[in-house]
A and B are shown apart, each in its own frame.
Chain A
Amino acid sequence: MSSSPQEQNREQKEEQKEEQKEDVKEEEVKKDMKPEDNQNQNEERKAEKWEENKKEEPKESWKDCIYNPRTGEFMGRTASSWGLILLFYLVFYGFLAGMFCLTMWVMLQTLDDNVPRYQDRVANPGLVIRPHAAEISFNRSDPTNYNQYIQNLHNLLQRYNDSIQERNDLCMVGEYTEQDNEPIKKVCQFKRSMLRQCSGLRDSSFGFAEGKPCIIIKMNRVIGLKPQGDPYINCTAKGDSPLRMQYYPSEARLDKMFFPYYGNKAHADYVQPLVAVQLLLSREDLNVEQTVECKLEGTNLRNDDDRDKFMGRVVFRVKVSE
């Protein structure tokens, strides 16, 4: 038989091996025996496995994924495994929560109680109207129609009741009420009655019943804000015909004495100045939607931001029907 050199080597070796060491053969025989044993075991094992497979396969469904009774696994884990991982996450998240609280606590410690650290985003206060609605539309002859509006106004003016305001101090008109170093800040008086027709005292419907509704304009509170100049509110109707309007207090001034504000902790009873504007709608103006824009004027505060339509100004629509 022709074969490769390697093979011949091997054959020779084998011959030598067999000649020289006969016991090798015996060993070989033994070796031959052993695998048989193994094999039997394997056979059994295989048979078992086969049976297992056969038995299990139909059963091995999604139910086993949830609870496997053979291994005691619930959702792929044994109870102790679940316990351990849950314990780990409990401890881990507990630690994280602790760390988060710690950092938050440290951060809060650095804050001032009375003045927020940054006020650059509220440097220019916004204007808001009451009643709180972008479009005020009602039938003047039907009180249920405008009841919510006057209720809203009454609520606002509750804090301005003369009885409450009389407890507050009278301040110097036209001057800031600066009291940075005083521990107890005084509050300047703003009586509801100053709004006269729009105070809701004499006419509890704020002119809504007559079709001449009062709108109250307030400027947002900003701590430490001291508007320069002589701030006042100026409203204009955005229509063809000029609308007659009456301001209370007269000249629609936001008096400087109400500034600065010291925050709700130090200045708890503080009330911001209000301006009421009564739209003196004529008969022709009824049933027509009136758009009114009120602006904060006479001061350095901005009222012409492109994006913020409520910074130093406010636009609202009024439609009174009969």
Chain B
Amino acid sequence: MIYKIQATSQGHFTRVQHYLLYSARQKPHGEFNKARWLYFGCSQLLVHTVRMPDSTYGRSDSYRVATTQDKADRSPKKKKGGTKDMDDLKKEVPITEHKMSIEEVCRKFNTDIVQGLTNAKAAEYLIRDGPNALTPPPTTPEWVKFCRQLFGGFSILLWTGAILCFLAYAIQAATEDEPAGDNLYLGIVLTAVVVITGCFSYFQEAKSSKIMESFKNMVPQQALVIREGEKVTINAEEVVGGDLIEVKGGDRIPADIRVVSAHGCKVDNSSLTGESEPQSRSPDCTHDNPLETRNVAFFSTNCVEGTARGIVICTGDRTVMGRIATLTSGLETGKTPIAKEIEHFIHIITGVAVFLGVTFFILAIILGYSWLEAVIFLIGIIVANVPEGLLATVTVCLTLTAKRMAKKNCLVKNLEAVETLGSTSTICSDKTGTLTQNRMTVAHMWFDNQIHEADTTEDQSGASFDKSSVTWLSLARVAGLCNRAQFKAGQDSLPILKRDVAGDASESALLKCIELSCGSVRAMRDRNKKVAEIPFNSTNKYQLSVHETEDPNDNRYLLVMKGAPERILDRCTTILVQGKEQPMDEELKEAFQNAYMELGGLGERVLGFCHVLLPEDQYPKGFAFDTEDVNFQTDNLCFVGLMSMIDPPRAAVPDAVIMVTGDHPITAKAIAKGVGIISEGNETVEDIAARLNIPVSQVNPRDAKACVVHGTDLKDLSQDQMDDILRNHTEIVFARTSPQQKLIIVEGCQRLGAIVAVTGDGVNDSPALKKADIGVAMGISGSDVSKQAADMILLDDNFASIVTGVEEGRLIFDNLKKSIAYTLTSNIPEITPFLFFIIVNIPLPLGTITILCIDLGTDMVPAISLAYETAESDIMKRQPRNPARDKLVNERLISIAYGQIGMIQALGGFFAYFVILAENGFLPSRLVGIRLNWDDRSTNDLEDSYGQQWTYEQRKIVEFTCHTAFFVSIVVVQWADVIICKTRRNSVFQQGMRNKILIFGLFEETALAAFLSYCPGMDVALRMYPLKPSWWFCAFPYSFLIFVYDEIRKLLLRRNPGGWVERETYY
């Protein structure tokens, strides 16, 4: 089912926890009029044009913007050579044995229906076909995994940097007598960073996969086979085609078998087809489709009850399950969204680096440097653009999030998948509970001919109606009494809304509502003792109970009833208005009808309530109410009112939720409607046809927002038709889908530019899980295959954890942006010194070692601490990001980080540099052009502005002191930077400074800077020198400027949404 939540309108709420309720109520569905569903008008779809996706169509269409019209026919998948097998696997199951008679099957396998195979034959077959086991997916060797960590994604950038460094050093070594070691050290450090980070993330993922391995079920399977007429229990791996097998309730079916005889046998095919109902098995062929026919039972499904005997027709990888497993392991998964973002980021960074490098290369040539020098500069500038610390920062941030999610029972197998859920725009799921808060609440009531909004506040401050109304009291009484839900014990101290309730979701909602507004329901029930009760059932569609009245003198009984509004209305002859019982006339009926429509139109689940005081003469005290054979009046009641409930959707849910189920279309549609997936008021083509009484072919499919697609139809759809369905319907149900079809659906959505998450637990889901951008499997109920295929595992099987995943994913995306903005900013004060060194020939203001101290030292903790930043606004109310537009790193981020904040930082650093040199005797005017003499070892009497003369070593100490001061200045301006990077829109004063890690980071970087400057021995080890205290304050004005500048920018940003400031600076 495809379901889109339009958060803008209230009309599309889902009512989800009823899903299970309703699905449980569905009777097994054998004989449905399938024709109605099968021919969802695909052909007509093409007659009408496709509405082009356009952002103006609103949020629900946003994920469809980036569509590509791939005209290639879908079914032959266009993939590179050697994929014939894959295409084959994607086709439907080729089993034909179900259509053969038992004798034919026996002949085919040379077996006997009574005696089974001979041992010799079995041994022969075993050698021919191999053991009956799934080939485990080819496991990637550990070193390949390690190399992937070492050379994947971001590491490439650093490797390139390192290689360039070594290249530059090689050039220097070949041309100069005493080459400066900087490039060599830098190359070594870069290599070390990549290797260490690679090891870190490798071990991180190894840890996750260790948890994975613990899932593996090691118990060997046994099978009862009949060979040479004797029943023997053998290892399931030794079962061969043609074996006669017996299975009984509780067994796992050891291979695909053609049933030859069955006694009340039912199998649970849920892991294969997704059908929740056990299916009966018999020897007769009931369907052409092997998956639907009753005379085939499948490998690794469970026999629930009864016994069956069958001939093995497929073993191992040739079984239906095996084919799915092979298909799954053969699927290639695309890059994760975050990997794509990092790639985009690398492109931007490389672009900037090469641009700067080439510009200054040309400049250097113009300034008269030699070619070799210019090449060294070029490499130096390019390497200086590499944010050395960012790889580690990103890895640590993702790891932290993964750990946080693991605590909430979301195990993430692949670090990069942490973010994926956050950007997911489409969820394919058959678990509707994923999408709502699972917290049914009363939203509206209708009584006294008026719709009232329910007051759900704990202190009843939001009352919108007169609580003393007699009608209301009656309604509350009915709702409270005709209700089996009750609070679990020992929660009196908790607020009512937070208490746990034993009972069905809508009854719990009513209970809480009444408890809130009228006080203890338990007391009410005690006053009105229950004498009889008919619980809800789907034929009656009502629930009633009979109580004694509150008044001990009144011996009448009170009958209360609730249920489907129109059923209740049918039983009523009067209606309570303003506390007075009035006959139900047409006018009031219409009023009821309007109210019902209105509430139903809001997507709410509406219940009607009525009551009657049974006349004492007919039902005297002690009357024996028989609920089986109803011996009392259940009509001529008095209608009291309506109450409607919703399960609010989680605001976080992605744009579109595609619900794919193995259930029958009718069941699926009923469930979809029941839980609001096909919302009230939206119709399928068939509905419209039925309503207007015209043939399906005359209906304009454009009118139908909803549609139900039968899985088998998918086969016949072309790619374009598939796209049309996905694009033009907001509420789609895919029913009866096979694993291959699920895969097609996922691929279809991805083709439309959506980032698809798939949830599932069965083997049938695993190809889709693997293909999806993020596959989410169940830790407890999930099959091993699905867990292998998934990227994320919900350890407690709680789908609500997905929401955690979405939230964490979005948060980490935002926070990574902040981290990157913070880290990149300091790139400018790191590069500009080198540029000025080349262009105006001043002594180098900042050296390689100090740059590394910033990137790998002081910047690390603050950058990582931004991962702990709380969200600025309700990220769950946001739309999922559009991968085409909302990039992790965009030009605006670069503009802010490099063009604005970075420049201020650079000035702060240069100011400190000039202060130190000036205070030591070298005024700025003296410095310009001094470089050649300054760096000349043989010049030991270099004159400063005051006429003093300096030896090489003396002035180098001053230079290194400048490096230290520049470094400290960057730390000082980075204080301001980390504070402004905390928020992208809000003021820091709104956000607060509650991030303890960040505060720790501020102190840590300062302490580290002080340590590096003052620790004895640093002058030898890192050539960093102690600073005079006043030099620490040089960058303070700039730090302050950064803070003020950015606060003003954010103020303008908030004041003028969509304005120029936002367009140019909001990253």
Q: Hey, which bits of chain A sit against chain B, CB under 8 A?
A: 1-7, 9-10, 12-14, 16-18, 20, 25, 28, 31-32, 35-36, 39, 42-43, 45-47, 49, 53, 84-85, 88-89, 92-93, 96, 99-100, 103-104, 107-108, 111, 114-119, 121-122, 125-128, 132-134, 218, 220-223, 261, 263-265, 267, 270, 305, 307-311, 314
For residue B596, CB closer than 8 A to chain A, the reply is yes
Q: In the complex the two chains form, is A128's CB within 8 Å of B940's CB?
A: yes
Given contacts A46-B52, A261-B947, contact A100 B911 (CB under 8 A): yes
Interface set, chain B 910-961, CB cutoff 8 A to A:
910-911, 914-915, 918-921, 923-924, 938, 940-941, 943-955, 957-958, 961
Q: In the complex the two chains form, is A310's CB within 8 Å of B949's CB?
A: no
Chain B residue nearest to A116 (CB atoms) is B921
Instruction: Kindly provide the distance from the CB of B675 to the nearest chain A CB, expressed in whole angstroms.
Output: 9
Pick from A10, A92, A133, A223: contact of B948, CB below 8 A: A223
Q: In the complex the two chains form, is B915's CB within 8 Å of A107's CB?
A: yes
Instruction: Kindly provide the distance from the CB of A291 to the nearest chain B CB, expressed in whole angstroms.
Output: 16
For residue B128, CB closer than 8 A to chain A, the reply is no
Alpha-carbon gap, A49 to B69, bound state (A): 12
Q: In the complex the two chains form, is B918's CB within 8 Å of A108's CB?
A: yes
For residue B538, CB closer than 8 A to chain A, the reply is yes
Flag the segment in B43-51, B136-144, B245-253 that touches A.
B43-51
Alpha-carbon gap, A43 to B46, bound state (A): 12
Interface set, chain B 881-924, CB cutoff 8 A to A:
899-900, 903-904, 907, 910-911, 914-915, 918-921, 923-924
Pairs A–B under 8 Å by Cβ, sample size 24: A10-B680, A13-B600, A14-B691, A17-B597, A18-B691, A25-B692, A39-B49, A39-B51, A53-B69, A88-B1064, A99-B1037, A108-B923, A121-B920, A125-B949, A126-B941, A128-B940, A218-B941, A223-B948, A263-B946, A263-B948, A264-B947, A307-B953, A310-B940, A310-B953
Instruction: Kindly provide the distance from the CB of A199 to the nearest chain B CB, expressed in whole angstroms.
Output: 21
Chain A residue nearest to B606 (CB atoms) is A9
Pick from B950, B1037, B1060: contact of A220, CB below 8 A: B950
| Chain A residues, CB < 8 A from B691 | 14, 18, 28
Number of A-B contacts (CB under 8 A): 182
Q: In the complex the two chains form, is A122's CB within 8 Å of B954's CB?
A: yes
Pick from A31, A116, A128: contact of B946, CB below 8 A: A116
Render B1002-1041 as a binary contact track against A, CB cut-off 8 A, 1 for contact: 0000000000000000000000000010000000010001
| Chain B residues, CB < 8 A from A49 | 52
Chain B residue nearest to A9 (CB atoms) is B564
Alpha-carbon gap, A157 to B818, bound state (A): 63
| Chain B residues, CB < 8 A from A13 | 566, 596-597, 600
| Chain A residues, CB < 8 A from B910 | 100
For residue B407, CB closer than 8 A to chain A, the reply is no
| Chain B residues, CB < 8 A from A45 | 52
Instruction: Kindly provide the distance from the CB of B170 to the nearest chain A CB, expressed in whole angstroms.
Output: 27
Given contacts A5-B564, A9-B566, A42-B51, contact A126 B951 (CB under 8 A): yes
Given contacts A1-B33, A4-B670, A43-B49, contact A118 B920 (CB under 8 A): yes
| Chain B residues, CB < 8 A from A93 | 903
Chain B residue nearest to A18 (CB atoms) is B691
For residue B311, CB closer than 8 A to chain A, the reply is no
Alpha-carbon gap, A100 to B909, bound state (A): 11
Interface of B is mostly: helix
For residue B531, CB closer than 8 A to chain A, the reply is no
Q: In the complex the two chains form, is A103's CB within 8 Å of B941's CB?
A: no
| Chain A residues, CB < 8 A from B670 | 3-4, 6-7
| Chain B residues, CB < 8 A from A114 | 946
| Chain A residues, CB < 8 A from B33 | 1
Q: In the complex the two chains form, is A96's CB within 8 Å of B947's CB?
A: no
| Chain A residues, CB < 8 A from B48 | 39
Alpha-carbon gap, A77 to B181, bound state (A): 43
Chain A residue nearest to B702 (CB atoms) is A35
Q: In the complex the two chains form, is A84's CB within 8 Å of B957's CB?
A: no
Alpha-carbon gap, A201 to B900, bound state (A): 63
Q: In the complex the two chains form, is B593's CB within 8 Å of A20's CB?
A: yes
Q: In the complex the two chains form, is A96's CB within 8 Å of B946's CB?
A: no
Pick from A5, A46, A126: contact of B954, CB below 8 A: A126
Alpha-carbon gap, A171 to B420, bound state (A): 84
| Chain B residues, CB < 8 A from A265 | 946-947
| Chain B residues, CB < 8 A from A308 | 951-954
With A46-B49, A117-B920 already in contact, 6 other A-B pairs whose C-beta atoms are closer than 8 Å = A4-B26, A5-B564, A39-B48, A103-B1037, A121-B958, A264-B946
| Chain A residues, CB < 8 A from B25 | 4
Alpha-carbon gap, A186 to B269, bound state (A): 109
Instruction: Kindly provide the distance from the CB of A223 to the nearest chain B CB, expressed in whole angstroms.
Output: 6
For residue B590, CB closer than 8 A to chain A, the reply is yes
Alpha-carbon gap, A126 to B948, bound state (A): 11
Render B245-264 as a binary contact track against A, CB cut-off 8 A, 1 for contact: 00000000000000000000
Instruction: Kindly provide the distance from the CB of B220 to the nearest chain A CB, expressed in whole angstroms.
Output: 43
| Chain A residues, CB < 8 A from B702 | 35, 39
Q: In the complex the two chains form, is B954's CB within 8 Å of A121's CB?
A: yes
Interface set, chain B 558-577, CB cutoff 8 A to A:
564-566
Interface set, chain B 659-703, CB cutoff 8 A to A:
666-667, 669-671, 673-674, 680, 691-692, 700, 702-703
Scoring A4, A36, A118, A309 by chain B CB atoms within 10 A of each residue's CB, the highest score goes to: A4
Scoring B680, B947, B1060 by chain A CB atoms within 10 A of each residue's CB, the highest score goes to: B947
For residue B541, CB closer than 8 A to chain A, the reply is yes
Render B31-66 as a binary contact track against A, CB cut-off 8 A, 1 for contact: 001000000000000001111100000000000000
Q: In the complex the two chains form, is B1064's CB within 8 Å of A32's CB?
A: no
Scoring A88, A104, A122 by chain B CB atoms within 10 A of each residue's CB, the highest score goes to: A122
Given contacts A12-B566, A43-B49, A108-B923, contact A222 B914 (CB under 8 A): no
| Chain A residues, CB < 8 A from B915 | 107
Chain A residue nearest to B904 (CB atoms) is A96
Alpha-carbon gap, A119 to B947, bound state (A): 12
Chain A residue nearest to B54 (CB atoms) is A45
Chain B residue nearest to A17 (CB atoms) is B597
Alpha-carbon gap, A256 to B654, bound state (A): 86
Pick from A35, A263, A305: contact of B700, CB below 8 A: A35
Alpha-carbon gap, A16 to B726, bound state (A): 33
For residue B27, CB closer than 8 A to chain A, the reply is yes
Alpha-carbon gap, A34 to B590, bound state (A): 29
Pick from B22, B918, B957: contact of A4, CB below 8 A: B22
| Chain B residues, CB < 8 A from A270 | 947
Chain B residue nearest to A10 (CB atoms) is B673
Q: In the complex the two chains form, is B671's CB within 8 Å of A4's CB?
A: yes
Alpha-carbon gap, A20 to B596, bound state (A): 14
Given contacts A122-B950, A126-B950, contact A36 B673 (CB under 8 A): no
Chain A residue nearest to B590 (CB atoms) is A20
Alpha-carbon gap, A108 to B952, bound state (A): 25
Pick from A117, A264, A311: contact of B951, CB below 8 A: A311
Pick from B49, B673, B674, B958: contact of A42, CB below 8 A: B49
Alpha-carbon gap, A114 to B31, bound state (A): 106
Instruction: Kindly provide the distance from the CB of B679 to the nearest chain A CB, expressed in whole angstroms.
Output: 11
Alpha-carbon gap, A311 to B953, bound state (A): 9
Chain A residue nearest to B922 (CB atoms) is A116
Alpha-carbon gap, A261 to B51, bound state (A): 88
Instruction: Kindly provide the distance from the CB of A134 to the nearest chain B CB, expressed in whole angstroms.
Output: 6
Instruction: Kindly provide the distance from the CB of A56 to the nearest chain B CB, expressed in whole angstroms.
Output: 13
| Chain B residues, CB < 8 A from A2 | 27
Render B15-32 as a binary contact track against A, CB cut-off 8 A, 1 for contact: 000000010011100000
Chain A residue nearest to B22 (CB atoms) is A4
Alpha-carbon gap, A128 to B25, bound state (A): 102
Scoring A1, A46, A100, A309 by chain B CB atoms within 10 A of each residue's CB, the highest score goes to: A100
Pick from A108, A126, A223, A307: contact of B947, CB below 8 A: A223
Instruction: Kindly provide the distance from the CB of A286 to the nearest chain B CB, expressed in whole angstroms.
Output: 25
Q: In the complex the two chains form, is A222's CB within 8 Å of B918's CB?
A: no
Alpha-carbon gap, A218 to B564, bound state (A): 109
Instruction: Kindly provide the distance from the CB of A114 to the nearest chain B CB, expressed in whole angstroms.
Output: 7
Alpha-carbon gap, A311 to B954, bound state (A): 9
| Chain A residues, CB < 8 A from B564 | 5, 9
